[in-house]
Structure 1
Amino acid sequence: MDFDLTERQAFFRDRVKSFIDEHVRPRVADYHRQIADGDRWQPLPVIEKLKPKAREAGLWNLFMPPGGALSHVDESFEFVGEQLTNLEYALCAEEMGRILWSSEVFNCSAPDTGNMEVLHRYGTREQKDQWLAPLMNGEIRSAFLMTEPGVASSDATNIECSIARDGDDYVINGKKWWSSGAGDPRAKIAILMGKTDPEEHKYRQQSMVLMPLDAEGVTIERALHVYGYDDAPHGHMEIKLDNVRVPASNILLGEGRGFEIAQGRLGPGRIHHCMRTIGAAEEALMLMVKRLNSRVAFGKTIAEHSIWEQRVADARIEIDATRLLCLKAADMMDKVGNKEAKAEIAMIKVKAPKMALQVIDDAIQAFGGAGVSQDAPLAHSWAGIRTLRLADGPDEVHARSIARLEYAKHAEI
């Protein structure tokens, strides 16, 4: 088993790291100042000014097309990014995760990444021309509407939003929430999951449709907060859909294909989330160690108090173990496909957020009162990562999948 990075893997990881260190990290104070000043629900100049630099550096749409596969693409190469594999991109995503907002600089932030993958894999040429091209160019942003407030959305068969055929249109009715990205004024298109046929088999009732966010009948009712953070200008919105009409040509792949699309979308997305989470844990560990070495309590540095040796050691062990599991999952996805890697994907989805939350919590403890304040990035980082134990399927759903695979492995024949 070879754990050395290939030249290409190291090349992209190191370029992303160098770009962040040179251009992004020095602007962190500017980012927080711009968030605090003026209209918080407008694009931030600090990010917009960095995007052309990233594009010029060849660090743009790093994940496109998914897995680097072009064999199924009939059209020209205008929808092609850097074509990184899941494993190659995972290494870059870890570096982006060290600073919460840096992924947008590279046009690699959720939910746009997942939506671009869906459009690339399943969209028609017309859908790609209308929506994928401007998304890849960074001209617009997007949202993904799946979760609903009235049902347990961890079981997607519960989704009640209706997508009803009416002549040449589909008519959408329902309510969605945690629609991340819909607060951004640049968000022009949403991929929405709902029911087209409640009488079909439970896994064939759902479909996905492209819904312009400025369509008549779309009402953003409120922004939801994550432990008090509204994450402007990105936002997590609750949206009412009242007889929203979209052309029938906006359906993705066909009626009843929603679960199929969801599985194609969520596998890579979970890798991205988990690797960014590892980056956040690395950043927290770095901040914790610097704090422990710089503060004196009871006559010696905090680092010299033995409890911290155990916490720092545990953090290093857990980060490295999680990274290896995540890279294994990414490598399997590239080599044998998402379906064969489902156990590994489920395992990292459970492991990575729990690991990072513990590391960040220990870092907060090392910082004392500053750790829970706005003077350190730790509280916001913890809040964001805590949502990952729910997003893209809660821990319990993934644990259930892991257990069932284990039961099947040892079942009596």
Structure 2
Amino acid sequence: MDFQYSSKVQALQARLLAFMDEHIYPNEKTFFGEITANRQAGDAWKPTRIVEQLKAKAREAGLWNLFLPESDQGAGLTNLEYAPLCEIMGRALWSAEVFNCSAPDTGNMEVLARYGTPAQQAQWLTPLLNGEIRSCFAMTEPAVASSDATNIEASIVREGDEYVINGRKWWSSGANDPRCKVFIFMGKSDPQNENRHKQQSMIIVPRDTPGVTVLRALPVFGYDDAPHGHGEVLFENVRVPAANMLLGEGRGFEIAQGRLGPGRIHHCMRLIGLAERSLEDMCKRSLSRVAFGKRVAEQGVTLERIANARILIDQARFLVLNAAQMMDTVGNKAAAKEIAMIKVAAPNMACQVIDWAIQAHGGGGVSDDFGVAYAYAQARTLRLADGPDEVHRNQIGKMELKKYLPSR
């Protein structure tokens, strides 16, 4: 395995790091201050001015759509090449949007780029790539265990030249954002199909279609994640043109697997950046505080945690780079085990490292003054998003056992 970055990637790393130093870190208080002011004014979902201003700067700097491979509208990077850049963006929870590299838009753009018709791409992909609109992915449902996507009950029924959509979704990221103009919706179009993985379809639903109602914003450990957030959404007799179907009826599960592979690895890349910054915060804080006659950093337990954090982060990074390389060389399907492994390893690693950082900050760690509490909330959520740990562990275990089962 050769993880040496090309000169192109090293140049992008340098430019991205410089952009973070010049524009992202100095504006973190501005970003959260704007959200607080908007919330106090009665509209937490109003987009922040600072992000919109920085988007223009990122685009001018050529740091735009870095996630999108094989595209004349992106950087054309492989997964392995994108990994170190995504890690850098992950160091600030809000910065990926500045570079048009944030979820769920990245996954939705990849879906449209891979599976969309030219007309669908012109209507939705182009404005998403330009950062003019945002999007939502509507799959998870409150009434069923959505960790098994075949449980989904929402319906997509063909009536003439239209499809009629009914269902209730939640944890629909971006549904509350006023910039969200389009949903990619997963539901059952053929519930009686003997093949459980061909019962589902994905379809494009414009946000302003009659019958689409955002019922509420869902907080995560008390954080509303404004201005993007997550919503519970009701779809009641929503009618869209038949031309809005993606790829074809019964292809929804196939699209979901294609979408979630890159999405999962992007989450893991960003988590490594978040864990790195949390380790930095832990080191700086423990060096600045004195307890029982010596700095907290000199206490044995703190040194042990710092050492273990370093080990855990580097282990996770190598696992992610290995998965990225396999996705590039043998494809997402062949790399399924490696993707599942990092989806378990990275969030658990980040939760542990951030927890140690919280402990090093003392009471301040559970406040919003230092950012580690919010970082923990985000990392803990990713042990559920894109499939819970238990599902990925089951998949890994079955793949491992398969080596020892008699061939048939």
| TM-score where L is the length of structure 1 | 0.96
C-alpha deviation, 1:328, in angstroms = 0.6
Once residues 372 and 134 of structure 2 are traced to their aligned partners in structure 1, the CA distance between those partners, rounded to angstroms, is 27
Asked if 1:398 is matched to 2:392, the reply is: yes
Secondary structure of residue in 1 paired with 2:53: helix
Q: Which residue of 1 aligns with 2:8?
A: 8
Q: Aligned partner of 1:187: which letter?
A: C
- Can you give the 5+ residue segments of structure 2 that lack an aligned partner in the other structure? none
User: In the TM superposition, what are the counterparts of 1:227-246 in structure 2 within 5 Å?
Assistant: 227-246=221-240
C-alpha deviation, 1:18, in angstroms = 1.6
Once residues 318 and 189 of structure 1 are traced to their aligned partners in structure 2, the CA distance between those partners, rounded to angstroms, is 39
Q: Which residue of 2 aligns with 1:123?
A: 116
User: In the TM superposition, what are the counterparts of 1:11-410 in structure 2 within 5 Å?
Assistant: 11-38=11-38, 39-64=43-68, 66=69, 68=70, 77=72, 80-200=73-193, 201-410=195-404
The one-character-per-residue Cα deviations of 1:324-347 (angstroms, maximum 9, x if unpaired) are 000010011011100111110000
Once residues 271 and 158 of structure 1 are traced to their aligned partners in structure 2, the CA distance between those partners, rounded to angstroms, is 24
Once residues 135 and 4 of structure 1 are traced to their aligned partners in structure 2, the CA distance between those partners, rounded to angstroms, is 32
Q: Tell me if the contact between 2:5 and 2:81 (Cα under 8 Å) persists in the aligned partners.
A: no
Secondary structure of residue in 1 paired with 2:382: helix
C-alpha deviation, 1:278, in angstroms = 0.4
Q: Tell me if the contact between 2:3 and 2:321 (Cα under 8 Å) persists in the aligned partners.
A: no
Q: Which of structure 1's runs of 4+ aligned residues deviate more than 4 A?
A: none
C-alpha deviation, 1:123, in angstroms = 0.1
Once residues 243 and 292 of structure 1 are traced to their aligned partners in structure 2, the CA distance between those partners, rounded to angstroms, is 57
Once residues 24 and 134 of structure 2 are traced to their aligned partners in structure 1, the CA distance between those partners, rounded to angstroms, is 21
Once residues 193 and 181 of structure 1 are traced to their aligned partners in structure 2, the CA distance between those partners, rounded to angstroms, is 16
Once residues 163 and 13 of structure 2 are traced to their aligned partners in structure 1, the CA distance between those partners, rounded to angstroms, is 43
Once residues 113 and 32 of structure 2 are traced to their aligned partners in structure 1, the CA distance between those partners, rounded to angstroms, is 34
Once residues 238 and 139 of structure 2 are traced to their aligned partners in structure 1, the CA distance between those partners, rounded to angstroms, is 16
C-alpha deviation, 1:14, in angstroms = 2.3
Once residues 339 and 181 of structure 1 are traced to their aligned partners in structure 2, the CA distance between those partners, rounded to angstroms, is 28
Once residues 228 and 58 of structure 1 are traced to their aligned partners in structure 2, the CA distance between those partners, rounded to angstroms, is 36
Once residues 10 and 410 of structure 1 are traced to their aligned partners in structure 2, the CA distance between those partners, rounded to angstroms, is 42
Once residues 215 and 406 of structure 2 are traced to their aligned partners in structure 1, the CA distance between those partners, rounded to angstroms, is 53
Secondary structure of residue in 1 paired with 2:163: strand
C-alpha deviation, 1:409, in angstroms = 1.3
Once residues 153 and 360 of structure 2 are traced to their aligned partners in structure 1, the CA distance between those partners, rounded to angstroms, is 46
Q: Tell me if the contact between 1:141 and 1:187 (Cα under 8 Å) persists in the aligned partners.
A: yes
Secondary structure of residue in 1 paired with 2:176: coil
Q: Tell me if the contact between 1:97 and 1:279 (Cα under 8 Å) persists in the aligned partners.
A: yes
The one-character-per-residue Cα deviations of 1:319-373 (angstroms, maximum 9, x if unpaired) are 0010000001001101110011111000000000000000000000000111110
Q: Tell me if the contact between 1:12 and 1:88 (Cα under 8 Å) persists in the aligned partners.
A: no
- Can you give the 5+ residue segments of structure 1 that lack an aligned partner in the other structure? 71-76
Q: Aligned partner of 2:341: which letter?
A: M
C-alpha deviation, 1:12, in angstroms = 1.8
Once residues 100 and 411 of structure 1 are traced to their aligned partners in structure 2, the CA distance between those partners, rounded to angstroms, is 44
Once residues 16 and 266 of structure 2 are traced to their aligned partners in structure 1, the CA distance between those partners, rounded to angstroms, is 15
Q: Which residue of 2 aligns with 1:73?
A: none
C-alpha deviation, 1:235, in angstroms = 1.2
C-alpha deviation, 1:288, in angstroms = 0.2
